[in-house]
Structure 1
C-alpha cells in the first residue's frame, strides 16, 4: 500500500486546493453534470457553500493558517452505516491508514442519527424465508456480512436489557432497538481499529472542497463546527455521505430526480415527465422516538400547524377529511392510533405499534418505547413546497425553491428540514390532543408518551431526517428496473425466481420491492400553497412492483470517468426507480463492505478501481475478500434462500455459484446444502467444471454442501477463464456498449434461456 502507517498530521498554510473548486452545475436532470469553477479563494469557498455571519467567517479565516492536514491511504467521507462498514472491512483487509470524516456526532446513518430503528431487510414475493415464528414477514436471505454481526450484537443487548432479542413485537421489523444503544454498538465495533491506529475518526466536520488533479480526486477539505479547517490527502476516497458531497464537490457526473423512460427504458418510467418535476424524489421523513411516561405530556403546536393536514391520518378524522376539497382525489387512512387496553403486547397495525421498539408489558424494564414513522402522517414530499418554505428558500437564492434537495446548500436544506420536523411534530400533537379527546379507549394513548431525550438535541429529535433517495452516481453501469423486475405483477401469484439479469460482477445479494412513498404534494383548491397539504402517489412511482433475487454489480460503485473515487451509501450507479429498492438497512452495509474491498485491492495493486472492474481475476480477489478471505461473517454472493452464513459450506457454495460452476435454474432458489448429492447432480456439476483441471473423488453419501466443499478445495487455486475483450468499449462485441450492457461479457440479454421464463 502507498503508506504503511497511520495518517500523518502536518501543519500547513492555506491548502492549495482552496485556490479553486470544481462544482457541479445545477440542471434539473442531467446525465452528465460537468464541473465549473465558481470559487477562487478560501473565503469564497466557505461562504458560497456555507453562508455564515461575518464574525464567524472572520474567525474561520483566521484559523486557516494553522489548518490540520492528514495523509491517508483511504478516506471515507461519511460515518453513515455504509461508511462505518467500509472502515471495518478495509481495516480487516489490512489497510493501515484509514480516515473517516463525518458531518455529525453519531455514527450509523439510518440506524441511529436518522432514527429508523425498526430494521427493514431484503424481502420479495415469497412467504418462505428467514424470520421468527411470530412474525409472518419472511426475509429473502439469512443475515450475512457485517449486517449479521451488527444485528447479533444489538439483539444480544436487547436480550440482556429488555428480556428479548426482539422486544418490540412490531408490525414491521422484527428487530428494533433504541438509537443511542445502537450507536454505542457502532462505536464498540469500530473502536479496535481506532485503538490499533488503522482508523482515524473525525466527527462534526463538513466537506467544503475536493482536492483534485485533472480527473482524479486526491482528497477533501473539511470545516469543523468551530471553523477549523481539515485537509485530508488520500490515495482513494469513498463517498458514503448522505448527499454525495464528494461527488458534487469534485464535479463527478451524477443524476437527480425522476428518470424519463428514454433514459434507461424502464417499464415503469414515464414517457412524459412533465408531471415529475426535477425536485421530485422519494420523500424524507423526520422520525420520532417516543417513550412511555408517568404523566400526560402533550407537545405544543409546532410552527405552521394546521389540523386539516392530519384529519386523514386516523379513523377519528374521517368526517372532516371527507369534507376537504383537495386539488385531486385523496384516499384518507383509517389507521388505529394505539393498541386497545389489555391487548398491548400483540403484534398489530397501529401507529404506536407499527414500529414499536420495546413492548412494556412484556419487557423486563416495563416501559414501552416506539418509533413513530407513519407514511400517511409524516412523509414529506419534496416537490411543490409550501409557500412559507419557498419564500424562505428564495430569500437565500433566486430559484432555490425549485432546486432538488440534493443540489441545495446546507443552509437551504435546513429550511426544508425545519418544516419537515414541524410536520412530523404536528402529527404527534394531533394524536395527543384531538385523537386522544375523541377516542373512547385511551389506556395506551400517545398522550402518555414523550419524546426521547437520547439524541441530545435541543428539540429531542434525530439529528437528520430519514433519507430514502439522494444523488445517483453516473457509474460504469447504471442498474435498471428491467434487470430484476418480477414479470408477474400480481404479488399473490408471483413466483420466487432469480433475476432476469444476474450480473457477472456481483458482490452481494439483494432483493426488495420498488418502494416509492408518495412523491406528490397537493393542496386545498381554495387555498393553494398557502394552506394545508397532503400527499399522493404518482404513476410508476409506488410500492406495487416486486424485484427478483438479484446481485449488486461491482461496476455500479465506480464513476464513469472520475478516478480516485468510489461510491457508497446511496451514491451509486442505479436509476431512480432502482434506488427505491436498494436502500434498506442491510443493503447500505453491504454496499460499504463492497466499496472497501474494491478500494483496498486497488491500493494493493496501485491502480484505479476502474482498472479492476473488467478483470475476472480481480473480481475473484474481491469476492474472496468478501466471502471467506477476511475476518468476520462472510457475504452472500449468490441469492440463495436457504443458506445460513454459519453453514460449513457457505463459502464454497457462494464462490462456486458466482463462478457459474453449480447447476442453477431460475426458479430453484434453494440450494439444499444438506440434501444428498446424487450421481446425476454431481455429474452436472463436473460437466460445468470442464475448463478446470482436477481429480475429484465423488461419493454417494455426500451432501450437496460436502460435495461443494470438496470441489472448492480443488478449484479455488485455479483461475477461471478470463473475460473477453473484443473491442475497447464493447467486450462481447454484441453492439451494446459496455456502459449500457448488463451482461458485458456475453452476447445474451438475460441470464437464462428464453424457455426458462
Structure 2
C-alpha cells in the first residue's frame, strides 16, 4: 500500500511539473505596439508564438498609456500598422466629424484601440496571448531561452527558441545581462554633427497622460485636491489658449487626450527612475503631478465641466502606465545614427539594404526648460530601420524593440514613436520566425529571406510615400529600392521630408551604372561596348538583360513588345529609343536580373 501511495505521489508530481512547463517557438514579452505586432507576425509566419503582457490591455503606449492621437507613419501604412489603422477608421467612420482621410492623424479611444488589437490577435492561428501575466526571470537554455512567468498564481516555465523583448524599457534584456547606454551620445561616439561634444546623462521626460470628457457646461467634475498639490507648478498655463490645446487632443465621443508639454503633465525622468527597483515610487509621483494638472484645469482655469473619463478602470482613472519616450538602449550588432536617416545612400554601411521597418515621426524633445540642449534637426527624413538595430551583439536569439533598440539618442527621439514601433515589431516577429523555422540563431540571419517575408505581409522596407500597397508592382519597387539600384528622392515639406520613388520619372545612366558594375562582372564589358547616353532607354535595359541572362536579343525584344501592355500593363508605348521610367525599370530589372537575390550582411554589404 505504501509503495502504491509513493508511486501515486510520484506520478502526480511528475504531471504537475510537466503542466508547469510550456514550450513555444517564439515568446514575446510585452504587449505594446511592438510586442503585439511581433506576436501577430510570428504566428502568421506559421510559428507557434506566445505573448505575455503584465497588464490587462494590448497596445502599450497607444492604449494603456493613453497616447491615442497618432501622427507618425500617416503616409506609411506598413503591414500590421496599416491594418490597425484601417480597423480604427472602419470603427469610427460613421461618427459625425471623424476624419477618415487615408493619411489623417489617427484618433481613437484607448479602450477601443486595445479591443481592436485583441480582436486581431484572437483571429491569428498559432498565437496564444496571456494578459495580466507578469514575468520574473530569464535564463539561457541552449540556443534558446527559459522564462519564468506567473500564470494562474503559479510559477510557470516557458521554453522558447527565440525571445523578443517588447517591454517599454528593455527589462528582459537587462535581466538577461545585456549592457546598456543612455542619454545624449557624444558627437565623437556617434559621428553625428548634431550630437553634443560630450555625452550627457539626460533622457526625455515621461508624460502621464489624462483622458477627460466634456460632461456639459453645468457639470462639476472637480476631483479631490491631490496630495502635495502646488498651483505654482502649472502657472505657465495661464494666458494660454486652453481650448485650442484641448482641441489638439480631441477624440471621438467628446473626449480629449491631455499630453501637454512645459508645465503640463510632462515629468522629469532619469534612467534610475525607470529601473524596476525605483519605478513604482517614481510612477506614483508622476501620477500625482498629472492629477494636479487636472485639478488646476478645473479650479484655476474654469474647466470644471471636464472630468476624468472612466476609460481606465484604475482608482484615479489615469492610464495604467506612463508614456515613456526614452530609457536605456542596448549595444546591438550595429547602431543606427542620424546619418542613416539623412544620408542613407552616402554611408560606408548601406543599412537601408537591411531594412525591416519604416518611420517618419518627427523627433520629440521633451525636457524641462534649460535641462538639456535643444537639437536643431533639419527637416526630418522618412527612414528605414535596419535589422541590426534589434539584434543583440553578444546574446543569441534575444531581439529588442521599443526604447531598448540599438539607435542613437537622437534617432530614438523618432524611432520610439508607437506607430514606428508597430512596424519595428512586425520586423522583429519575422526575424524571430526565421530563426525558429530554420532552427538557427541571430548570428546567421538571412536579410533577404526576412525582408521577403515582410513583403509577403504588406510591410514597407523603404518609406516610399508615393508607392501605394495596392500598386501591383509595390513589391518590385520595394525590392529594387532595397538594393540601391534605384535610390529614393527626398522632398522637403516644412519640418519633414518624404522619400519618393518617383515611378514616372526616367532613369539616368549615371544612377544605375555604379550598381550594375558592382554586382555584374559582365557590366564593364557592356557599358564599354554600348556606351548608353545620359538617359537609360528601354533598348538599353533590354540589351543589358540580354547580356547578363544570355538571352537572344531579338527574341527578348519580340517577347517584351507583346507583353509590354498585355502582361505588364505599362501605360506608355513600347519604344526601344524612349527613356525607360523608374517603374518600368524596377519591374523588368526585378524580374530578369533579380538584384534582390544578392545576399547582404547586416551592414548592407553585398556578399558573393
Q: Tell me which residue corresponds to 1:608.
A: 441
CA separation of 1:719 and 1:659: change in aligned 2, threshold 3 A: closer
Matched, 1:211 2:135: no
Q: Tell me which residue corresponds to 1:473.
A: 330
| 1:218 Cα offset (Å) | 1.0
- Which blocks of at least 5 consecutive residues in structure 1 are unaligned? 1-10, 15-63, 123-138, 316-334, 339-349, 359-366, 384-402, 437-445, 487-496, 521-534, 613-617, 725-737, 747-757
Q: Tell me which residue corresponds to 2:228.
A: 304
TM-score w.r.t. length of structure 2: 0.80
Superimposed CA distance per residue, residues 334-368 of structure 1 (whole angstroms, 9 cap, x where no aligned partner): x3111xxxxxxxxxxx221111113xxxxxxxx41
| Aligned equivalents of 1:250, 1:715: Cα separation in 2 | 44
Which structure carries more helix by proportion?
A: 2
| 1:202 Cα offset (Å) | 1.4
CA separation of 1:685 and 1:419: change in aligned 2, threshold 3 A: farther
Is the Cα contact below 8 Å between 2:45 and 2:430 reproduced in 1?
A: yes
Matched, 1:118 2:73: no
| 1:298 Cα offset (Å) | 1.5
| Aligned equivalents of 1:625, 1:542: Cα separation in 2 | 37
Q: Secondary structure at the match of 1:156?
A: helix
Is the Cα contact below 8 Å between 1:207 and 1:245 reproduced in 2?
A: no
The number of residue pairs the alignment matches comes to: 536
Matched, 1:594 2:451: no
CA separation of 1:269 and 1:672: change in aligned 2, threshold 3 A: closer
Moved more, 664-673 or 577-586: 664-673
Matched, 1:507 2:356: yes
Q: Tell me which residue corresponds to 2:536.
A: 680
Q: Tell me which residue corresponds to 1:714.
A: 592
Moved more, 693-702 or 594-603: 693-702
- Which blocks of at least 5 consecutive residues in structure 2 are unaligned? 1-10, 492-497, 509-534, 565-571, 575-580
Is the Cα contact below 8 Å between 1:352 and 1:371 reproduced in 2?
A: yes
| Aligned equivalents of 2:359, 2:63: Cα separation in 1 | 22
Matched, 1:455 2:379: no
Superimposed CA distance per residue, residues 567-624 of structure 1 (whole angstroms, 9 cap, x where no aligned partner): 1222211122211121223210111111111111112221101211xxxxx2221111
| Aligned equivalents of 2:46, 2:329: Cα separation in 1 | 30
Matched, 1:370 2:322: no
| Aligned equivalents of 1:113, 1:174: Cα separation in 2 | 19
CA separation of 1:551 and 1:203: change in aligned 2, threshold 3 A: same
Matched, 1:517 2:366: yes
- Residue of 33, 36, 40 corresponding to 1:84: 36
- Residue of 224, 249, 264 corresponding to 2:175: 249
| 1:111 Cα offset (Å) | 1.3
Superimposed CA distance per residue, residues 142-197 of structure 1 (whole angstroms, 9 cap, x where no aligned partner): 4221111100110111113x235438x9xx9722001111111001111012xx4x
What RMSD, in angstroms, separates the aligned Cα atoms of the two structures? 3.2
Is the Cα contact below 8 Å between 1:499 and 1:549 reproduced in 2?
A: no
Paired residues for 1:192-211 under 5 Å: 192-193=123-124, 196=125, 198-211=126-139
CA separation of 1:293 and 1:116: change in aligned 2, threshold 3 A: same
| 1:452 Cα offset (Å) | 1.1
Paired residues for 1:384-463 under 5 Å: 404-409=272-277, 412-436=278-302, 446-463=303-320
Matched, 1:482 2:352: no
Matched, 1:163 2:96: yes
Is the Cα contact below 8 Å between 2:489 and 2:500 reproduced in 1?
A: no
Is the Cα contact below 8 Å between 1:649 and 1:673 reproduced in 2?
A: no
| Aligned equivalents of 1:515, 1:154: Cα separation in 2 | 25
Superimposed CA distance per residue, residues 86-142 of structure 1 (whole angstroms, 9 cap, x where no aligned partner): 1111122111x11111110100111110100101214xxxxxxxxxxxxxxxx5x34
TM-score w.r.t. length of structure 1: 0.65
Is the Cα contact below 8 Å between 1:291 and 1:369 reproduced in 2?
A: yes
- Residue of 163, 183, 186 corresponding to 2:114: 183
CA separation of 1:684 and 1:415: change in aligned 2, threshold 3 A: farther
| Aligned equivalents of 1:498, 1:584: Cα separation in 2 | 24
CA separation of 1:68 and 1:686: change in aligned 2, threshold 3 A: farther
CA separation of 1:73 and 1:453: change in aligned 2, threshold 3 A: same
- Residue of 228, 234, 239 corresponding to 2:160: 234
CA separation of 1:743 and 1:654: change in aligned 2, threshold 3 A: closer
